[in-house]
Structure 1
Amino acid sequence: MGDSSTSKIKLYSFYRSSCACRVRIALNLKGIDYEYKAVNLFQGEQFSPDFLKLNPLGYVPVLVDGETTLADSFAILMYLEEKYPQYPLLPEDPNKRAINYQAANIVCSSIQPFQNLAVLKYIDENVGSGESIHWALTHINKGFAALEKLLAKYAGKYATGDEVFLADLFLAPQIQGSITRFNIDMTSYPLLLRVYKAYEELSAFQDAMPEKQPDAPKDIKGE
């Protein structure tokens, strides 16, 4: 393998993965060219022996940068932030930085894990068909209600002010997926809806959305 100064970064991704979307947004914001390596979660490609060598958990995203191989979107984003400082993802103010961490963790710890494919499949098979939707909506609404309150003091055009930071990278795909996959009613979350509309004006965000990915179905409509 060549070193990272000469080799293009590889991102193992699935078009509908909100975790992978976070990383795609970061790469776009930082202007980092990368090779998209599609992993079809619906067909179980994440459990292939070759992919499990990259991430034993069998999840996307995985980033390969020269000799460095990283899984987990949060770890990947922190790596990109430290190695590629152009377009900082974190504010300088320590309090505002901590709020970005907190908002990001609400999404990646208290919402997204409860709605991933493996969890929803398990609930439908072991609790009851269709129960997974109620489960997902319960956790999405709980998390969105918390975010709405948390960010009220800090939000500007975006989640924590008038510049895009880490929290926005987690919010954008989470809100997008909640609307398109779970038909969530965003009227109860006016702040989140407002910042989501602001993301629609940013090419770095829109180019990272599911429908723009090379492995997205041709008939996808903003899912």
Structure 2
Amino acid sequence: MSSILLTTKGNNGEELPKKLQLYSFSTSPPSFSVRIALNFKGLDYEYKAVNLFKGEQHRPEFIKINPIGFIPALMDGDMVIADSFAIILYLEEKYPQHPLLPRDLANKAINYQAANFVCSSIQPLIRLPILKYIGENVGHEEKVPWVHKHVGKGFAGLEKLLKYHAGKYATGDEIFLADVLLAPYIIGYLQRYNFDMSEYPLLSRLAEAYIQVPSIQDAMPEKQPDFPIN
């Protein structure tokens, strides 16, 4: 992807670094994850709303930023990074304050596994284009069962994976990468799809813990400038 230079002019005409810009959608779980990471690292950013329901992700000006037409995307100076996992790992490398990866190698590996459960086994199967295709070609009444099936499968795997590693949060008593990726799903799907969490006691407990964390509270969909969605 070609770089886009983002600078602003100071009083003397010198070029100054521009604030981080996040292309986001309030109810998008991947965008939610990136907002959590930015908040934990104390990074100020400009919110650039991209309304997925109106198809703004397909507009030419956004395709120049992310040719695949997905959000979130982050602009950091002359860097453009798309994909929530890539953005969070980039932030982890460049902005080391409040690390989102533990130093312990075994714990770090569990965080990577849990994050990939979300990014590989849940997120791709419930994107809006997939649900739109199901609605148009199978039936609108099949969308919610589809979400329940695939989210449930991912949650079952996470419940087993984290069973022997969880503390207050997913992999101990600190917020790490696994929490940042997982929180939007176990918070959001309880609300949006009336998801039955009775089979996932560990994830249910984590959901209750997450909603008490200020950096997660501030990243919630209802706290974003493009919420509510019409």
Deviation sequence 1:149-184 (CA, Å, 0-9, x none)? 100000000000000000001111011221112111
* Pairing 1:31-180 to 2, within 5 Å after superposition: 31-180=42-191
- Structure 2 residue 37 is matched with structure 1 residue 26: yes
Rounded Cα–Cα distance in structure 2 between residues aligned with 1:38 and 1:187: 35
**Matching residue's letter, 1:134:** P
**Matching residue's letter, 2:27:** R
- Structure 2 residue 210 is matched with structure 1 residue 205: no
Rounded Cα–Cα distance in structure 2 between residues aligned with 1:41 and 1:150: 32
Rounded Cα–Cα distance in structure 1 between residues aligned with 2:194 and 2:229: 21
SS in 2 for 1:37: strand
Rounded Cα–Cα distance in structure 2 between residues aligned with 1:123 and 1:218: 22
**Matching residue's letter, 1:147:** L
Rounded Cα–Cα distance in structure 1 between residues aligned with 2:215 and 2:120: 24
Rounded Cα–Cα distance in structure 2 between residues aligned with 1:162 and 1:208: 20
Rounded Cα–Cα distance in structure 2 between residues aligned with 1:54 and 1:176: 29
Rounded Cα–Cα distance in structure 2 between residues aligned with 1:198 and 1:217: 25
**Matching residue's letter, 1:14:** F
1:182 pairs, out of 193, 207, 215, with 193
Give the deviation of 1:218 after TM superposition: 7.7
2:203 pairs, out of 183, 188, 192, with 192
Count how many residue pairs are aligned between Structure 1 and Structure 2: 219
| Deviation larger for 126-135 or 168-177 | 126-135
Give the deviation of 1:133 after TM superposition: 1.2
- Which stretches in structure 1 are left out of the alignment for 5+ residues? none
**Matching residue's letter, 1:165:** F
* Percent of pairs with identical residues: 60
**Matching residue's letter, 1:2:** T
After superposition, the CA RMSD in angstroms is: 1.5
What does residue 7 of structure 2 align with? 2
- Structure 2 residue 28 is matched with structure 1 residue 17: yes
SS in 2 for 1:111: helix
| TM superposition score normalised by structure 1 | 0.95
Runs of 4+ in 1 over 4 A off after TM superposition: none
* Greater Rg over alpha carbons, structure: 2
Give the deviation of 1:69 after TM superposition: 0.3
SS in 1 for 2:155: helix
SS in 2 for 1:54: coil
Give the deviation of 1:6 after TM superposition: 2.4
Give the deviation of 1:85 after TM superposition: 0.1
